[in-house]
A and B are shown apart, each in its own frame.
Chain A
Amino acid sequence: MCRLSAITSSEYISPMENILSLETMKEGHDGSGLGLMLKDLGGPFKDLKDFPILSTICSNKGVEDLTAFMRSRGFAEKFSWEPAIKNVPGVERRDHYLVKVYDYPAEYRDKPKSEKEDLLMNTRLAIRKMGEPDGSIFAFSFYPDVLTLKEVGDPLQLGEFFNLDKSDIKSKIVLAQGRQNTNYAIYLYACHPFFIQGYGTMTNGENTAFVPIREFLMGRGNPGYMGYNSDSEVFTHIAHYVNRSLGYPLHYYKDVITPLKEKEIDTRSDAQAIRLLKRSLRPLCIDGPNCVIGFTPDGSVFMVQDAKKLRPGVVGGVPGKYGLMSEVCGLDSAVPQRDKSTDIFPMKYDMVIIAPGAREVTVWNQLHA
């Protein structure tokens, strides 16, 4: 099973904390990839929060193509960062793990946020299209204050490879996924966490309803609903669709992916609305077993799972620092000083939402909402 580790904190933390928690959750020989997604960045990005950050892996040719492309689109480079790679046996080093901060093209600087977000997503998709055929560029995210690192290998070794224990890269929210060992020929675009316009999520468990969900999302008319090299990418896009495209409050994500039964709906004060939602968004029912952990553009972090998830995730911590993990031992590693009796194991009706800044934990119960 994929290992998931998310931490949300009021202070800047190193992603090594997540990697160490992934290590404690390791069972046997599982660990064929690592995905890191950092939000609310510190370190060298601390003062660049309004500018979009492009996270890529490029070959030497890819760097040249990317530079020319971004220039042609009017993006002015403000800052560039690459991890100080330390060669580690078993990890195949690629040419560049390139993170670049840009200023918007002049004509977009005063545009509304949504238009800027569309520009960033379309630019990322264009870069992906350009670099995918020859593998010269992988573009994971292009958005203000979000940084993504991915590579194939054991998560702990990759932490060393990226030199994260000595790096000044820090953030207040970190999603980390250690990939299970079902597939060694991992395509980088199949690595969690996935990102679209401020929404990042990661998942464990296989998605049995993947094909109908993918087909439904691809019919929504959003060019960003593409890729799907992993069946888990749909969870990110559903969150984006429900919360951003339809504009529903975040907890309706739970109603969409794990809809209530007809009789249960009657217990809700918004029964009429969710009954309609259940019908209209029927193909987005995930039919599990999955645990989804993610963040939204405002910095809320959430965990949700369906009734078939036999090994539920756990949320716990102290005010100012909370962990959302697939195993309790990961939480012990990340926040050992917490009161364990307050740990939350979200049941099938629960959605745990932690407010921005790790201030407050809310357990939203679908049945008694």
Chain B
Amino acid sequence: MGAPLTDRPAALRVQGLSVTFTGGPIEIPAVRDVTLDVGRGEVVALLGESGSGKSVTARAVMGLIDEHTRVDAEVLMLGDVDLLTTTTEQRRRLRGERMSLVLQDALSALNPVLTIGDQIGELFRVHRGASRKQARRHAIELLGLVGIPGPGQRVDEYPHQFSGGMRQRILIAMAIALEPEFLIADEPTTALDVTVQAQILELLDSLRTTLGMGILLITHDLGVVTEVADRLAVMYAGRVVERGDADSVLTRPAHPYTEALLRSVPQAAQRGGDLLTIPGSPPSPGQVPPACSFHTRCHMAIEVCRTVRPPLEPVAAGRLAACHRSQELLNGVPA
């Protein structure tokens, strides 16, 4: 199960990752036993709704956690580096250098009182020991790479002088500045308009081919997943419930949750009719139902779903699902 599903060299390998919040009166397990791998030059999508643990997974991998969070994992490897044994200082150096993160909210992720040239240049000055002049030159190059017009002039402007799409591109420029082998993009296009979203997705796609970057794309948008993902992991209530190559998961889901998600999105063919809905709403991490955490909302739930938690098991070649009835779902049992 832990073996990589791809033959490309791994950019990231995660096995048995659990993240627990210990700050409150009771411990809250936000992420449980997540196994993931991202090959170089590959886009893996992590799909899930709010509270499913996608972003917590990303922050745990990056090592961006506070003292009230406990991270346990069997394996956490970035290329050949074991992230579980690195010190905080080594981890800090790895960020930006070998892995980086693009956040959703570009305005709050940038420092409002520094020019973007300073902010991009800082990476080169800290990690590469570049001079101010060199750093500025690199910053201009990067702005051009991510498609900002007139980079020579705009390098001295402040974040508020850029539009939302441009700010997002600046964040991407910062994330790829040192050509890391692994990039996490946490909802990079959620706040953007579709025409800008298309530009950003295209940019990410060209980066993975030209720089051979492995990308973990965190999103709740099925359209984005459909367009760019090579492989896909679906999270629900802190666990991965289905994982496999995007083509087969999106065309023939093996978990009722994935199936319901796909069918709850409006499609051109069934205009006007009722959309399939999932009753209820996603559970909060503190109150996840026992056994199969989806059983309370599942239209296929049977007795065993309420008592035994289904393990994430292979259901077909290169595919895993955590459902007692995946075989029936794959064989096309009427819903």
A and B bind: no
Spell out A's residues near B (CB within 8 Å). none
